[in-house]
């Protein structure tokens, strides 16, 4: 990687210090010409126009070279990430194909899209069933063993052996999950939601939608849940759905090296991203039984342009997914046709008297929201520090596995100590509630230890207990200690090299302190009937989750759907709103923190405020490497091979420009690196046109077959003779790329770029001469920080 050295001036050389805010450009004259602004630009020349393709040789040298000196920092922007091409290249081949498709052809395509969405729904539902059933079976075995051992030890003494058994069982399960993630496929770590957010935003995250990732993710989440970690199996479902969607829609798997030769038309970023949205929605839908929430999640995270038919299809996939899950699970549980539990987690039916709320409770709910926001911010801050620590010191896979095992053992130990310490204060008679593992411990006969039940259960069931158990079931001290310990355990767990979701732990923490809050309210209130602890547990759960992840509309709908009751809509919305306001005041959402720490060029919904003073001319990268319509093969190969620039898109300019515009050619098209690679591979040279009359003409199919992993330029052999040939780019370039004048403001450029999902936007002067190019990184670089626009640095992290 020759370019690493050159870019040192742009990368953060000092690991310890974060760079100060660099805003020289903002002080430059807004109308300055390129010549005038050269002073500020000179260092950037080596990195310009670099919509880089390191992923092409990701498995090779480049990443390993860089990974030694990890420079994660939220003030950097990584050059590692490519953009997706959401804009069709409307070249001759494309137009010919579109014209060839008959009316029936369009219908067939449409039907195929529906079939793919149906399959996405079915497979996502099945995966969710698989996870659910296996987790249940394994957890049953584990808890049964431990219970028997504890029961025996309570009588005979030797509880420390039970502790060791519990801790080592946990650590064992976690180890398997962690080894899979750390050694086989690191992309499967965590919930995958940040990665899916990035993908839907238009960033190509490598390995994120591969079959191998799916397998590791599914097995990983099973082992981490069974391992007793403070994790949920819901978040990973979203990632799983997305991988399933990408796999099915492409009709082939590169992990299995199998091409089913179906759905070939969908082999481009535009179509694939649409299906991935559907997959993510189906995942949400299966996880929470929330098909509408799933659709809104996809839209909130991914949609740039709302399309009625697409949304309708996404909804269909979601519906099918929750139906499949419900149907299969109902058969598994022995009551086929009972379609009343549509998700992996259901919050259960709230009693109708508990559902009611009074208008004067609304300010109280908003207080709960505020507490959730602040606690969420504390959680995020702690996790941020922990992540920084991990990035610096725990980046070797074996260290990651050891940390995960440690967390597993500690979780078991904390649980055990709490059960042991609280045994006397929290015994309850075994009532009608069907409790699977009533631990007697030191309680009298016919009683069980309540806190043991909370720990001795999957977190999903604990959440439901906190919502629905009758007032008085929980001792406030127990709840307080539980909240505290689970808060820190969950915070420590998120970011481990295991496959895990943050939704359920957040809900559990929130439900615990929400219930505590409810108990407190009913104690101080003269009429305790209105302060149902279950209701406040729900509000607390919403507040805590909202305070951590900061989702808005989709989270409201997900919680309302999981509750199965529309009446709570307004309170939940107000709680989430307050939590978001309070949380945003302190620190960003957890997913955004992790996205920023990965230095992903993520584009928000709106251009940053106060960016109106910046123009395209100040933002763009230049000088631009252009090609002519008829270009020498040698030059193309040289430019593509130049690792110092590594451009991905090249404006094509007209040769017949007038003398006064000698330096800038007039824009007449745009061609991508991937297209040039295919052209070179097929030797589409003007000089060979006659000799290859017998050869078939290059078709769009040839480009699709190479998608998405186009070969690197180094793998294409071009002989010395061929270097003197010419390539005619006219038929292959996009003849009408979007362009804006250099005077356009940053918000204007941003909106165009975001609304159309562009990858390259050419900046032209008054007579259509190419003066620069704007890519995702040029826009993502600007950010509002403490009321000032700041400019991020770019680095090859």
Site for its own copies in 275-334 (CB under 8 A): 289, 291-292, 295-296, 299-300, 303-309, 311-312, 315-316, 319-320, 322-323, 327
Contact stretch for its own copies (CB under 8 A) within 39-47, 151-159, 553-561, 638-646? 553-561
488 is a site residue for its own copies (CB under 8 A):
no
State the nearest-atom distance from the C-beta of 112 to its own copies, in Å: 15
**Which member of 39, 106, 332, 389 binds its own copies (CB under 8 A)?**
106
Cβ closest to its own copies, residue 311 vs residue 411: 311
Distance of CA 50 to the CA centre of its chain: 24
Q: By rule CB under 8 A, what string of x and - marks binding of each residue 385-424 to its own copies? A: ----------------------------------------
Strand partners, 760: 775
740 is a site residue for its own copies (CB under 8 A):
yes
Helix axes 553-563, 533-549, angle to 10 degrees: 150
Tokens in use for 450? 């309540």
Cβ closest to its own copies, residue 552 vs residue 692: 552
Cβ closest to its own copies, residue 145 vs residue 567: 567
Q: How far apart are CA 344 and CA 752, in angstroms?
A: 39
Q: With CA atoms as reference, report the closest residue to 407 among 184, 227, 222.
A: 227
DSSP character for 81? P
State the nearest-atom distance from the C-beta of 318 to its own copies, in Å: 9
**Which member of 28, 348, 712, 741 binds its own copies (CB under 8 A)?**
741
Q: Count of CB atoms within 10 A of residue 110's CB? A: 12
Q: How far apart are CA 405 and CA 763, in angstroms?
A: 53
Using an 8 Å Cβ cutoff, are 652 and 627 in contact?
Answer: yes
State the nearest-atom distance from the C-beta of 743 to its own copies, in Å: 5
Contact stretch for its own copies (CB under 8 A) within 267-275, 353-361, 440-448, 519-527? 353-361
557 is a site residue for its own copies (CB under 8 A):
yes
730 is a site residue for its own copies (CB under 8 A):
no
Site for its own copies in 46-85 (CB under 8 A): none
CB neighbour list of residue 527: distance below 8 Å, 6 or more residues apart = none
Cβ closest to its own copies, residue 490 vs residue 574: 574
State the nearest-atom distance from the C-beta of 745 to its own copies, in Å: 6
693 is a site residue for its own copies (CB under 8 A):
no
Q: With CA atoms as reference, report the closest residue to 57 among 46, 48, 65.
A: 65
Site for its own copies in 757-786 (CB under 8 A): 764, 766-768
588 is a site residue for its own copies (CB under 8 A):
no
Cβ closest to its own copies, residue 642 vs residue 654: 654
Tokens in use for 447? 């009683």
Beta-strand relationship, 739-741 and 627-628: unpaired
Q: How far apart are CA 738 and CA 736, in angstroms?
A: 6
Q: How far apart are CA 299 and CA 314, in angstroms?
A: 10
Site for its own copies in 117-176 (CB under 8 A): none
CB neighbour list of residue 472: distance below 8 Å, 6 or more residues apart = none
Q: With CA atoms as reference, report the closest residue to 52 among 621, 700, 607, 742.
A: 621
Q: How far apart are CA 336 and CA 92, in angstroms?
A: 55
Cβ closest to its own copies, residue 84 vs residue 146: 84
State the nearest-atom distance from the C-beta of 622 to its own copies, in Å: 18
Tokens in use for 1? 């990687």
Enclosing H/E stretch for 717: none
Tokens in use for 639? 């430019």
Cβ closest to its own copies, residue 223 vs residue 266: 266
**Which member of 461, 738, 783, 793 binds its own copies (CB under 8 A)?**
738
584 is a site residue for its own copies (CB under 8 A):
no
State the nearest-atom distance from the C-beta of 740 to its own copies, in Å: 6
Site for its own copies in 599-628 (CB under 8 A): 605-606, 609-610, 612-613
Q: How far apart are CA 530 and CA 521, in angstroms?
A: 9
The number of residues that bind its own copies (CB under 8 A) is 81
């Amino acid at each position: 990687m020759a370019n690493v050295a050159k870019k040192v001036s742009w990368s953060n050389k000092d690991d310890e210090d974060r760079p100060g805010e660099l805003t020289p450009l903002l002080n430059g004259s807004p109308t300055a010409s390129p010549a005038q602004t050269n002073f500020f630009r000179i260092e950037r020349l080596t990195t310009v126009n670099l919509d880089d393709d390191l992923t092409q040789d990701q498995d090779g040298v480049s990443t390993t070279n860089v990974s030694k000196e990890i420079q994660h920092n939220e003030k950097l922007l990584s050059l590692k990430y490519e953009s997706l091409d959401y804009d069709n290249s409307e070249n001759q081949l494309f137009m010919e194909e579109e014209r060839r498709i008959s009316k029936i052809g369009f219908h067939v395509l449409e039907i195929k899209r529906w079939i793919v969405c149906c399959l996405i729904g079915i497979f996502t539902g099945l995966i969710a069933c698989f996870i659910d059933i296996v987790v249940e079976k394994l957890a049953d075995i584990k808890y049964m063993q431990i219970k028997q051992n504890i029961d025996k030890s309570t009588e005979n003494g030797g509880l420390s052996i039970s502790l060791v058994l519990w801790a080592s069982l946990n650590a064992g399960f976690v180890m398997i999950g962690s080894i899979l993630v750390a050694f086989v496929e690191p992309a499967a770590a965590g919930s995958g939601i940040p990665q899916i957010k990035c993908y839907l935003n238009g960033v190509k995250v490598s390995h994120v939608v591969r079959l191998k990732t799916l397998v590791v993710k599914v097995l990983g989440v099973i082992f981490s849940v069974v391992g007793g970690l403070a994790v949920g199996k819901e978040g990973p479902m979203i990632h799983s759905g997305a991988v399933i969607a990408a796999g099915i829609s492409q009709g082939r798997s590169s992990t299995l090296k199998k091409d089913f030769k179906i759905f070939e038309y969908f082999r481009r970023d535009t179509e694939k991203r649409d299906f991935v949205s559907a997959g993510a929605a189906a995942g949400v839908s299966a996880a929470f039984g929330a098909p509408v929430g799933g659709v809104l999640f996809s839209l909130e995270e991914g949609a740039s342009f709302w399309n009625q038919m697409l949304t309708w299809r996404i909804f269909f996939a979601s519906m099918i997914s929750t139906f499949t899950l419900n149907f299969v699970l109902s058969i598994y549980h022995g009551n086929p046709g009972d379609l009343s539990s549509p998700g992996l987690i259901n919050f259960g039916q709230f009693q109708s008297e508990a559902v009611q709320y009074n208008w004067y409770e609304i300010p109280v709910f908003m207080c709960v929201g505020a507490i959730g926001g602040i606690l969420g911010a504390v959680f995020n801050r702690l996790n941020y520090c922990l992540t920084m620590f991990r990035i610096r010191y725990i980046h070797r896979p074996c260290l990651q596995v050891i940390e995960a095992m440690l967390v597993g053992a500690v979780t078991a130990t904390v649980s055990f100590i709490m059960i042991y310490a609280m045994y006397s204060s929290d015994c309850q008679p075994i009532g009608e509630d069907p409790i699977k593992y009533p631990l007697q411990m030191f309680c009298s006969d016919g009683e069980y230890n309540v806190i043991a039940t909370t720990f001795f259960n999957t977190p999903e069931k604990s959440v439901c207990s906190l919502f629905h158990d009758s007032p008085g079931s929980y001792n406030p001290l127990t709840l307080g200690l539980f909240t505290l310990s689970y808060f820190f355990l969950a915070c420590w767990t998120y970011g481990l090299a295991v496959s895990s979701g943050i939704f359920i732990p957040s809900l559990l923490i929130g439900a615990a302190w929400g219930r505590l809050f409810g108990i407190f309210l009913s104690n101080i209130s003269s009429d305790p009937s209105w302060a149902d602890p279950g209701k406040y547990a729900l509000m607390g759960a919403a507040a805590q989750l909202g305070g951590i992840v900061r989702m808005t509309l989709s989270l409201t709908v997900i919680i309302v759907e999981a509750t199965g009751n529309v009446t709570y809509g307004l309170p939940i919305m107000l709680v989430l709103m307050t939590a978001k306001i309070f949380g945003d005041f302190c620190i960003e959402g957890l997913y955004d923190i992790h996205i920023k720490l990965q230095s992903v060029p993520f584009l928000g919904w709106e251009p940053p405020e106060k960016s109106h003073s910046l123009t395209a001319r100040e933002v763009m990268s230049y000088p631009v490497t252009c090609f002519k319509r008829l270009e020498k093969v040698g030059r193309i190969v040289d430019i593509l091979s130049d690792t110092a620039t590594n451009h991905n898109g090249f404006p094509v300019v007209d040769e017949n420009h007038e003398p006064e515009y000698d330096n800038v050619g007039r824009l007449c098209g745009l061609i991508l690196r991937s297209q040039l690679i295919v052209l070179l591979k097929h030797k589409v040279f003007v000089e060979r046109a006659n000799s290859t009359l017998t050869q078939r003409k290059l078709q769009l199919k040839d480009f699709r077959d190479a998608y998405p992993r186009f070969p690197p330029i180094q793998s294409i052999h071009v002989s010395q003779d061929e270097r003197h040939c010419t390539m005619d780019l006219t038929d292959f370039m996009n003849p009408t790329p979007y362009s804006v004048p250099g005077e356009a403001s940053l918000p204007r450029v941003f909106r165009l770029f975001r609304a159309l999902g562009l990858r390259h936007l050419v900046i032209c002067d008054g007579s259509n001469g190419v003066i620069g190019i704007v890519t995702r990184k040029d826009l993502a670089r600007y950010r509002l920080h403490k009321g000032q626009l700041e400019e991020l640095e770019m680095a090859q992290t």
